[in-house]
Amino acid sequence: MSQFDVTEQRKADWESAANALQIRDKAYIDGKFVSATSGKVFECINPATDAVLATVAECDAADVDRAVKAARAAFESGVWSAMAPMNRKAVLLRLAELIRQNLVELALLDSLDMGKLVNDAAMVDVPGSATFFQWYAEAIDKVYDEIAPTGPGDLAMITREPLGVVGAVVPWNFPLDMATWKCAAALAAGNSVVLKPAEQSPLSALRLAELASEAGVPDGVLNVLPGYGETAGQALGLHPDVDCLAFTGSTAVGKLFQQYAGQSNMKQVWLETGGKSPNLVFADCADLDAAADMAAFGIFFNQGEVCSANSRLLVERSIQAELVEKLIARADAMQPGDPLDPESKMGAMVSSEQTKTVMRYINIGKTEANLVVGGEQVKIDGRGNFVQPTIFDNVDANATIATDEIFGPVLAVVPFDSEDEAVSIANDSVYGLAASVWTDGLSKAHRVAGRLRAGTVSVNTVDALSPMTPFGGFKQSGFGRDLSLHSFDKYTALKTTWIKY
């Protein structure tokens, strides 16, 4: 399958590759695929067709305990944690290569499992995962420790040490990438990891664990437990032998992980949570077509199931009508379709539950604001869970659809009259994950970017992101950062060793 040319693929090619898939459906503990201790399984549903894709091991507290024991034993043995960084680098570079070689399979697993366009998975998610593993592999033998300027007679060394067992609990919107953001940095730093993917999308993580073994990651260093949040996720959060819990998901569940830590061993908890990111378009924006293109991408990409989705469009009133007209045209051109069809512009929602949630918000929106495009749930070939790209104009900044995270393809357009008003509306949110600003004014760009309370501010683009720059939130969007060297702060502890001579 690695010979498959992604840029040349047709729907029939993806379908036949999908039919040939061999799905890994067991938990991955200590280098082996194993059934859940209870013997239970749960169904993975393809949301584009409502068909059962696989029945997967349903892990719970007993399996969490097994996996944590394996992770701890591997960590204490030093087989990975004490390996020279150059050697860990070689293993993780092999893993990056294996991800590239298995691109078709990994892209299909994510697309079938959670409804995203297979083209996006193949061109964004899977290459991204390989790049992130490669980046952390290449970084790990270039990070130096410190010597404090104590003066003669003393040598105070400040070293970074891996924490031990890292629990990672991740969501379904970018299954492989969200797992990678945690695992690449945590593994590069020398930790063992117990990963719980979302119950909606466990399949690519299971294959990732197998590829990690093939690359040379020792048994027990990366364990993957499919299962539900309330059982497996909670057990990981409460486990007394987990040193650090890295979470990406909703703000409500993030708060639970803080409680789990307080109720158990005070493990470090790092949260990447929700967002309601504002996209501020000023009248002096140099290229309104580019702003419209990126505003549409910013809310409709991945069906709007993006934590940093630009779900609030704050537009200066003098250009509101023109921009909204351009956005309607773009929404019309981005109708959902079969995720395996390269011609489709938007995929399926992750589940029927998420579709109901999004439709509930759309119905609230119809009572709060002016629906200008979309607003309907649709079926493709008579089945599946799809929602039209939807735009509400003239939304009050305090309306439900302008304040709640919807996590779907629903844009709230809020007009403003001044820079102060725009900044004040943008910051009036419990979230602070990302923001975008469109202006041709250099001073205004810096001034507004400086005033926005968000982890990432993109100017004249949206959702700027790379392995080189930290990603994370202010306020209830979380704390701690994924990506960049700063991510190592989450997975290492500083040690001072003071030598008197």
Identify which of residues 104 and 269 has a Cβ nearer to ligand NAD in the complex: 269
Identify which of residues 120 and 405 has a Cβ nearer to ligand NAD in the complex: 405
Q: Is residue 487 within 8 Å of 187, Cβ to Cβ?
A: no
To the nearest 10°, report the CA torsion of 411, 417, 420, 424: -30
Which of 131, 273, 429, 476 is in the footprint of ligand NAD by CB under 6 A?
Answer: 273
Per the annotation, the verdict on 105 as an active-site residue is: no
Q: Which two tokens stand for residue 104?
A: 């078709």
Which of 196, 276, 475, 490 is in the footprint of ligand NAD by CB under 6 A?
Answer: 196
Closest distance between ligand NAD and the C-beta of residue 429, in Å? 13
Helix-strand-coil split of the chain, %, nearest 5: 40, 25, 35
Mapping DSSP onto H, E and C, the string for 410-467 reads EEEEEEECCHHHHHHHHHCCCEECEEEEECCCHHHHHHHHHHCCCCEEEECCCCCCCC
> For the chain, what's the residue count?
501
Which of 47, 167, 249, 480 is in the footprint of ligand NAD by CB under 6 A?
Answer: 249
Which of 41, 61, 256, 449 is in the footprint of ligand NAD by CB under 6 A?
Answer: 256
Is 432 a binding residue for ligand NAD by CB under 6 A? The answer is no
Residue 501's identity, in one-letter code, is: Y
Closest distance between ligand NAD and the C-beta of residue 354, in Å? 7
Per the annotation, the verdict on 272 as an active-site residue is: yes
**Residue 3 burial (CB < 10 Å; 0-12/13-18/19+)?**
exposed
Is 230 a binding residue for ligand NAD by CB under 6 A? The answer is yes
Measured between alpha carbons, how far is 485 from 470 in angstroms, rounded to an integer? 8
Stretch in the footprint of ligand NAD (CB under 6 A) among 31-39, 187-195, 243-251, 338-346: 243-251
Q: Which of 180, 226, 219, 182 is nearest to 203 (CA)?
A: 226
Stretch in the footprint of ligand NAD (CB under 6 A) among 38-46, 244-252, 292-300, 369-377: 244-252
Number of neighbours of residue 39 by Cβ within 10 angstroms: 8
Q: What is the pattern of x (binds ligand NAD, CB under 6 A) and - over residues 133-172? A: ------------------------------------xxxx
Stretch in the footprint of ligand NAD (CB under 6 A) among 74-82, 89-97, 273-281, 382-390: 273-281
Binding site residues, ligand NAD, CB under 6 A: 169-173, 178, 196, 198-199, 228-230, 233-234, 237, 248-250, 253, 256, 272-275, 307, 405, 407, 433, 473, 477-478
Catalytic residues, which ones?
A: 272, 307
